[in-house]
């Protein structure tokens, strides 16, 4: 079974010589211990997308041929959405343990829905996500831990929940991003973390395989190439992702707010189009479960909260986090989506690319290891082929970086 996004920072800690840390990904055996580790997360760079990405990405093409770096497969957290996976990355914990169980969640005891991308300080991040992060652990071991992120991430509740304990190094200009990361690596040993969202944004807005998506792939590859070329001695670069994705056709979408059968008995709707949390009116759960199972047959797996938790799709679920999961959990099982136009911004319905579900296209992610001795090998981009999202389930878990509040398309 592949490793997990939860294993990336523990392996980074092991590379840096922190004692008593399990390197489940076997990175230390591959490159040995080092003074510096750079972790870069490319939002939306799913495992199954790599061959098509390589059409416009000479470095990734070189990785796929085995000429540069070391490539292995991991799985992200479930739901396969950015807030959930990035807090699993930061804490090393399952979603059921850290509590960031989706893109949006109902706050227990209220009818308020918290959008994790827009979250600031209510609820307080230490209450909503109380687990320690690996940035805190590294700091406690005397290892500097820094995140190099856009300045507007500062003050986000999600940034704090995922990266608590790290030294924040704000950046203002995207064109200087690689240089700022390299400068931070050169300034001191320890861990440096970076992130790019442009590939995921292009997938959402224009679709996987679009010209804009391919242009984003070229840009991401150029960033990674500059980072590999500029790595100081005794440094390892680990590149991973938070999820993959797939396109959803217009005729493969259902709007729950346009179908009275699907709104009956519903009190609060949370989650996102590929995984919905339905909080029901008193006594309505059984009817909602039966109706949704019938209406969405062949489109989604519909489970009660108890059934969903029993599958271990969220990992172990702490009792404080149980009420955050809907009374009914709806997970799209094919290339479909459940819109909620009465509950979400209109931009959501206009998106083309989605993720959040448990298919391999969404759950499988890469880990690419670049030692400082790696030098980008000149390679032509791989011949472009049509992308066909995979719909088989990823190896069970069926299971921030805060974004700028003004960018709701980033999911």
The C-alpha atoms of residue 264 and residue 8 are separated, in whole angstroms, by: 43
The predicted pLDDT at position 9 comes to 99
Residues 53 and 187 in one domain: yes
Residue-by-residue DSSP string for 71-125: EEEEE--SS-SHHHHHHHHHH---HHHH---SSEEEPTTSS-EEETTT--SSS-H
Residues 298 and 157 in one domain: no
pLDDT in tens, 361-388: 999 999 999 998 766 554 555 444 343 3
pLDDT in tens, 213-255: 999 999 999 999 999 999 999 999 999 999 999 999 999 999 9
Residues 259 and 322 in one domain: yes
Residues 306 and 331 in one domain: yes
Half-sphere exposure of 314 (CA within 13 A, CB side): 27
Residues 138 and 213 in one domain: yes
Residues 321 and 234 in one domain: no
The predicted pLDDT at position 175 comes to 74
The C-alpha atoms of residue 316 and residue 311 are separated, in whole angstroms, by: 10
Residues 185 and 319 in one domain: no
Q: In DSSP terms, which residues pair with 195 in a beta bridge?
A: 41
The predicted pLDDT at position 2 comes to 82
Instruction: Tell whether 198 is covered by a domain.
Output: yes
Element (H, E) at 328: strand 328-332
Residues 319 and 211 in one domain: no
Four-point Cα dihedral 317, 92, 49, 228, nearest 10: 170
Q: Which two tokens stand for residue 306?
A: 């108890």
The predicted pLDDT at position 377 comes to 54
Give the mean model confidence (pLDDT) for residues 135-163: 96
Residues 344 and 208 in one domain: no
Whether the predicted pLDDT of 405 surpasses 60: no
Give the mean model confidence (pLDDT) for residues 282-302: 98
The C-alpha atoms of residue 325 and residue 321 are separated, in whole angstroms, by: 7
Element (H, E) at 329: strand 328-332
Give the mean model confidence (pLDDT) for residues 72-87: 99
Whether the predicted pLDDT of 391 surpasses 70: no
The model's confidence at residue 389, banded by pLDDT at 50, 70 and 90, is very low
Whether the predicted pLDDT of 211 surpasses 90: yes
Instruction: Tell whether 64 is covered by a domain.
Output: yes
Cα radius of gyration (the chain): 20
- The pTM of the full predicted model, rounded to 2 decimals, is 0.91
Residues 148 and 260 in one domain: no
Contact status, residue 28 vs residue 34, Cβ threshold 8 Å: no
Characterize the bridge pairing of strands 235-240 and 364-371. antiparallel
Contact status, residue 76 vs residue 398, Cβ threshold 8 Å: no
Closest CA to 388 of 47, 65, 45, 49: 49
The model's confidence at residue 399, banded by pLDDT at 50, 70 and 90, is very low
Residue 409's CB: how many other CB atoms inside 10 A? 16
- Write out the residue range of the structural domain in which residue 193 sits: 5-93+131-246+359-371
How many domains is the chain partitioned into structurally?
A: 2
pLDDT in tens, 104-142: 999 999 999 999 999 999 999 999 999 999 999 999 999
Handedness of CA 303, 309, 315, 320 (dihedral sign): positive
Instruction: Tell whether 400 is covered by a domain.
Output: no
Whether the predicted pLDDT of 398 surpasses 70: no
At 250 the three-state DSSP class reads: helix
Handedness of CA 44, 50, 53, 57 (dihedral sign): positive
Question: Residue 365 belongs to a domain with what CATH number?
Answer: 3.40.720.10
How large a percentage of the chain has pLDDT more than 70?
Answer: 91
Characterize the bridge pairing of strands 3-4 and 70-75. parallel
- Chain-centroid distance of CA 363 in Å reads 9
CA separation, residue 290 to residues 57, 259, 279, 381 (Å) = 47, 15, 14, 49
Residue-by-residue DSSP string for 28-72: HHHH---SEEEEEEETT--GGGHHHHGGG-HHHHHHHTTSSSEEE
Instruction: Tell whether 381 is covered by a domain.
Output: no
Question: Residue 282 belongs to a domain with what CATH number?
Answer: 3.30.1360.180
Strands annotated E in 116-256: 145-150, 167-171, 190-196, 235-240, 246-247, 253-255
Whether the predicted pLDDT of 11 surpasses 60: yes
CA separation, residue 55 to residues 72, 174, 204, 386 (Å) = 19, 23, 20, 11
Residues 31 and 169 in one domain: yes
Residues 227 and 263 in one domain: no
């Amino acid at each position: 079974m592949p490793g997990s996004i939860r294993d990336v920072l523990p392996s980074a800690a092991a590379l840096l010589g922190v004692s008593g840390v399990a390197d489940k990904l076997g990175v230390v055996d591959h490159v040995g211990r080092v003074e510096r580790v750079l972790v870069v997360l490319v939002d939306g760079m799913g495992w199954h997308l790599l061959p098509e990405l390589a059409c416009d990405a000479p470095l990734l093409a070189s990785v796929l041929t085995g000429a540069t770096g070391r490539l292995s497969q991991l799985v992200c957290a479930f739901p396969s959405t950015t807030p959930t996976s990035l807090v699993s990355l930061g804490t090393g914990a399952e979603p059921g343990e850290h509590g960031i169980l989706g893109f949006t969640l109902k706050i227990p005891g209220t009818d308020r829905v918290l959008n994790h991308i827009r979250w600031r300080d209510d609820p307080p991040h230490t209450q909503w996500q109380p687990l320690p992060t690996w940035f805190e652990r590294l700091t406690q071991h005397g290892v500097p831990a820094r995140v190099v992120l856009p300045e507007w991430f500062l003050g986000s509740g999600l940034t704090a929940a995922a990266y608590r304990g790290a030294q924040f190094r704000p950046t203002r200009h995207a064109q200087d991003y690689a240089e700022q990361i390299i400068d931070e690596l050169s300034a001191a040993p320890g861990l440096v973390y970076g992130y790019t969202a442009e590939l995921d944004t292009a997938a959402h807005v224009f679709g996987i395989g679009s010209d804009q998506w391919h242009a984003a792939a070229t840009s991401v590859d150029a960033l990674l190439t500059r980072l590999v070329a500029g790595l100081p001695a005794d440094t390892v670069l680990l590149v991973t992702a938070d999820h993959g994705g797939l396109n959803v056709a217009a005729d493969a979408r259902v709007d729950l707010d346009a179908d009275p059968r699907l709104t009956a008995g519903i009190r609060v709707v949370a989650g996102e189009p590929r995984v919905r949390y339905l909080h029901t009116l008193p006594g309505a759960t059984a009817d909602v479960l039966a109706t949704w199972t019938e209406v969405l047959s062949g489109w989604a797996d519909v489970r009660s909260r108890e059934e969903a938790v029993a599958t271990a799709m969220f990992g172990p679920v702490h009792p404080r986090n149980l009420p955050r999961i809907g009374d009914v959990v709806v997970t799209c099982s094919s290339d479909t989506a459940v819109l909620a136009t009465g509950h979400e911004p209109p931009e959501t319905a206009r998106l083309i690319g989605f993720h959040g579900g448990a298919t391999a296209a969404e759950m499988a992610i890469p880990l690419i290891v670049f030692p400082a001795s790696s030098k980008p090998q000149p390679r032509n981009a791989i011949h472009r082929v049509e992308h066909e999202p995979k719909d088989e389930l990823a190896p069970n878990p069926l299971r921030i970086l805060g974004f700028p509040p003004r960018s709701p398309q980033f999911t």
